[in-house]
Amino acid sequence: MTRTMRAAAAAILVAGGAVGCTHTGHGGNEGAAGGGGVYRSFVDPCWPERYNMQARSEVLAPFAQQVNNGAVLHHTIFNWYFEKGTEKLTPAGRAKLDSLAQTRPSPDSRLYLQAARDLESTNENLKTIAGDRETLTQKRAQSIRDYMASQPAIGGTAMAYEIYVHDTPTLGMPASFTAAAVRGQATGYVGTLPGGQGGGGMAGGGSTNTSSAPSN
């Protein structure tokens, strides 16, 4: 997530408390009738702005969380970007880091690394697998730092990247879905409109409206 996106999300989350529609009256004498104290004891002078802002923030807060989750996954270097069981980046891993470094208007300095789960646990290594995974994760984090340090320094200043490790599940979908969509591009879009009772006959070839407007 870029700095601009994080600032926008933070503004959405705190907007509910940033209501400043209540005036202080004259001379700050809230108890006097001329200061508006009596009026505010009967009505809310911030209606409906206060409640609109609270409702708006409650609607936007889950969306802001979704944006943040998507940005985290987009900036995650998953296990498959390394040769299995090693800290060596694959060509796909180097291409992923290149794309993150070339983000406009500026790259995000916060990167995420999936914990090394491609070291499989067996009955024989149950006592050592946790330490082996941690060691490999740290080596992979250093590989990312070394590779990102080789990126061009725009403006003469190299980007200092921070790497955070999280144990996120591997994302994916059946390859057959994507393959079918790609092959289907050659024949155009294909779809059907389900028929049913009261559907106006659209699926059955259409219907004709024979009614006419009443004459005067």
User: Same structural domain for residues 5 and 90?
Assistant: no
User: Same structural domain for residues 152 and 107?
Assistant: yes
Residue 193: inside a domain = no
Q: Per the structure, how many domains does the chain have?
A: 2
Q: Is the pLDDT of residue 39 over 90?
A: no
User: Same structural domain for residues 166 and 84?
Assistant: yes
Average of per-residue pLDDT across 149-153: 90
User: Same structural domain for residues 83 and 57?
Assistant: no
- β-bridge mates for residue 111, sequence order: 163
The three-state (H, E, C) secondary structure of 70-98, written as one string: HHHHHCEECHHHECCCCCCECHHHHHHHH
Q: Predicted confidence band at 164 (pLDDT cuts at 50, 70, 90)?
A: very high
Q: Is the pLDDT of residue 61 over 80?
A: yes
Average of per-residue pLDDT across 60-81: 93
DSSP structure class, residue 82: B
**What six digits make up the tokens of 111?**
């990167």
User: Same structural domain for residues 60 and 83?
Assistant: no
Q: Predicted confidence band at 210 (pLDDT cuts at 50, 70, 90)?
A: very low
Average of per-residue pLDDT across 167-171: 83
User: Same structural domain for residues 56 and 80?
Assistant: no
Which amino acid would we find at residue 129? I
Residue 144: inside a domain = yes
Residue 10: inside a domain = yes
Residue 187: inside a domain = no
CA distance 139 to 162: 15
User: Same structural domain for residues 55 and 116?
Assistant: no
- β-bridge mates for residue 164, sequence order: 112
- β-bridge mates for residue 76, sequence order: 112
User: Same structural domain for residues 115 and 158?
Assistant: yes
pLDDT score for 21: 60
User: Same structural domain for residues 9 and 89?
Assistant: no
User: Same structural domain for residues 109 and 164?
Assistant: yes
Q: Is the pLDDT of residue 82 over 60?
A: yes
Q: Which is more confident, 188 or 35? A: 188
Residue 212: inside a domain = no
Q: What is the mean pLDDT of the chain?
A: 79
pLDDT digits over 122-142, tens only?
A: 999 999 999 999 999 999 999
The helix (run of H) or strand (run of E) holding residue 71 is helix 49-74
Q: Is the pLDDT of residue 206 over 50?
A: no
**What six digits make up the tokens of 113?**
């690394």
Judge contact between 12 and 65, C-beta under 8 A. no
Q: Is the model's pTM score more than 0.75?
A: no
- Residue 113: helix, strand or coil by DSSP? strand
Tell me the residue range of the domain where 155 lies.
75-172
Judge contact between 45 and 39, C-beta under 8 A. yes
Average of per-residue pLDDT across 21-48: 64
pLDDT score for 7: 55
Q: What percent of the chain has pLDDT over 90?
A: 47
Residue 117: inside a domain = yes
Task: Give the residue among 116, 132, 35 at the shortest CA–CA distance from 81.
Answer: 116
Q: Predicted confidence band at 13 (pLDDT cuts at 50, 70, 90)?
A: very low
pLDDT score for 4: 53
DSSP string, 154-192: GGG-----EEEEE-PPPP---HHHHHHHHHHTTT-----
User: Same structural domain for residues 63 and 124?
Assistant: no
Judge contact between 73 and 7, C-beta under 8 A. no
Q: Predicted confidence band at 16 (pLDDT cuts at 50, 70, 90)?
A: very low
